[in-house]
A and B are shown apart, each in its own frame.
Chain A
């Protein structure tokens, strides 16, 4: 557990004028990041997120207040030792350009005196674990894409198996598609490792996606709200938080509502290579195409098939919801499907059935009723 108690950071004014004021970057922050959970610090640029994070590993010294990790005041520890026990991931990865991926990852274990062979064996494991091809271990950072560099950054931070991780906008410098992959793998990794993580981002979507709890900061380093993502979206404490969490928060809040058991419609399917006659025989304007494992490939417009179904005929817009996913994913699958029927797959990726938006809405309504009841019962 990381605990901030009345932590304040005041930077000396750039002018150097000693009027006792300076600029307040973090203002009397009291906050707990629970063990094994992801706590996200989110807020507009300049609100003191980085300052807050860097005070934990003493890259920045607080003006007042104490920060403790598992009850130990960080100020009382040897600074190099403290840092070696904390995983640190930063925006542009900050990899050492002169070292191979492998040697980057072994950095902290080597500082701690682990012998080279043990450190390398463990590093290879981690490199694979963060989703990199083991062949990349011999490359240099300049030979990697931004997304790959970030993965190495994460592997490097994990190398000495620190209980605590500090992550400063680790995914914001990569494009949205890669970012989403990195986020998903980060969540998967965390579900296996259970680290105590303090995660900084300016992106509210990332915050609600990754955080077990989210701390919204406002400029001046004041904590505006600390809550679970669902609570944050459903019940912002003030106009600032409401404005910051954004317009379509009603829709986004559905991300946290697990899909209930809904009765899905069986969907007739065709395979790639199916003849035009067979496709038209299905009788609907749009027909779902699946592969040999019954994994959905895409919708095909029956009228567009001249001889047989080919890949180029497949509609590419629809999303696939998972039976164990959220109401948001279900609704999105229905809304994005050209046929109006959202494709739902099982956890193994195989087609289970389809659902229409009109069938999802009652589930959303039912959920609203139950949460209102809960609120009145309290």
Chain B
């Protein structure tokens, strides 16, 4: 198998048409992924937000993380054998596949949401309540925006896993990019298998890139650490701004009632506290 074979597979018009063509398989793959994430979000986000907000039942998050250890393929066959006889249509395969993928997507989403809400500074939350925000306003105006970086990193990790694992749907006779792997293996067409894998990898990278862009736009610079970078670069060029950043020191405009000569006030390195979100939701 050579690089040329891979190129010729991708340039063969036959591989870009019909049910077994790349566009259709990619679409199927994305449909499984989207459906899975949608269901997982509906389950994990309210649950994670509630656990983070109330601080109760944290074991749910730990428990879900432990569930990641269950072998996905084995679970899929088990669920299919159980559901198969009950349903007389394609759904007999769709439901188990999606269910297994949802199970895979829930832990990162749950812990991302939980960790995000839990990471909100207690002082900010306290101030929000004390200023007269209702519980709902505290959640939507303070907790959610502050939780966003950790939540989105959970979403990215879930998306990557689901895209990579959605190939298993093909093993119970469904579509998606997994078809190239299963069919390639059956007919010993290794070129097709490699090309299928490449497609999965590219799809995952593109999806992750889109989410990264989204993250960049949706997360306030105040918490993403972008502002800290700005502050640091300003601190290096203190002449743009007369005041030092990130340190408790007298403001330059204020006068002291003491006979003190102007001490040295060199630039200080910013000590902004918000770094990039920790990745404590990843296992």
Contact = CB atoms under 8 A, between A and B. Distances in A.
Nearest to B231: A143
Contact of A111 (B131, B230, B259): B131
A94 B132 contact: no
Nearest to A57: B130
Contact of A81 (B132, B250, B251, B272): B132
Given A83-B131, A88-B131, A142-B228, A131 B253 contact: yes
Contacts of A144: 245-246
Contacts of B129: 59, 83
A44 to B, nearest CB: 22
Contacts, number: 158
A343 to B, nearest CB: 7
Nearest to B125: A94
Interface string B216-260: 000111110001101100000000010111111111011011111
A142 B146 CA distance: 13
Interface in A239-259: none
A263 interface: no
A133 B270 CA distance: 18
Contacts of B245: 143-145
A262 interface: no
A90 interface: yes
Given A57-B130, A97-B274, A143 B227 contact: yes
B248 A174 contact: yes
A73 B250 CA distance: 42
B185 interface: no
B246 A131 contact: no
Contacts of B270: 143
B250 A181 contact: yes
Contacts of B127: 88, 90, 93-96, 153
Given A97-B124, A142-B272, A145-B244, A318 B259 contact: yes
A43 interface: no
B147 to A, nearest CB: 10
Contacts of A297: 259, 261
A62 interface: no
A298 B250 contact: no
A222 interface: no
Interface in A97-154: 97-100, 107-108, 111, 131, 133, 135, 139-148, 153
Nearest to B219: A98
B123 interface: yes
Nearest to B129: A59
B11 to A, nearest CB: 48
B133 interface: yes
Interface in B1-16: none
B56 to A, nearest CB: 15
B231 A142 contact: yes
- Interface SS, A side: mixed
A8 B126 CA distance: 22
B259 A131 contact: no
A165 B272 CA distance: 29
Given A83-B132, A143-B246, A316 B259 contact: yes
Given A97-B146, A145-B248, A90 B130 contact: yes
A367 to B, nearest CB: 23
A146 B231 CA distance: 15
Given A111-B137, A143-B228, A318-B259, A96 B251 contact: no
A79 B131 CA distance: 10
A88 B251 contact: no
A143 B272 contact: yes
Most chain B beta-carbon contacts within 10 A, residue among A133, A142, A298, A314: A142
Contacts of B230: 143
Contacts of A219: none
Interface string A42-71: 000000000000100101000000000000
Contacts of B174: none
B23 interface: no
A221 to B, nearest CB: 21
B132 A100 contact: no
Contacts of B260: 316
B142 A96 contact: yes
A144 B249 CA distance: 11
A314 B261 contact: yes
Nearest to A288: B259
Interface of A: 54, 57, 59, 79-85, 88, 90-100, 107-108, 111, 131, 133, 135, 139-148, 153, 156-157, 166, 174-175, 177-178, 181, 296-299, 311-312, 314-320, 322, 343
8 contacts: A94-B128, A97-B121, A98-B222, A108-B131, A133-B253, A145-B246, A175-B249, A320-B259
Given A147-B251, A320-B258, 20 more contacts: A54-B130, A59-B130, A88-B131, A90-B127, A92-B123, A94-B121, A94-B123, A98-B146, A98-B219, A98-B222, A107-B131, A108-B132, A143-B245, A145-B247, A148-B251, A157-B131, A177-B256, A312-B261, A316-B260, A318-B258
**9 tightest Cβ-Cβ pairs between the two chains A and B:** A94-B127, A140-B222, A83-B132, A84-B132, A98-B220, A94-B123, A88-B130, A142-B272, A298-B259
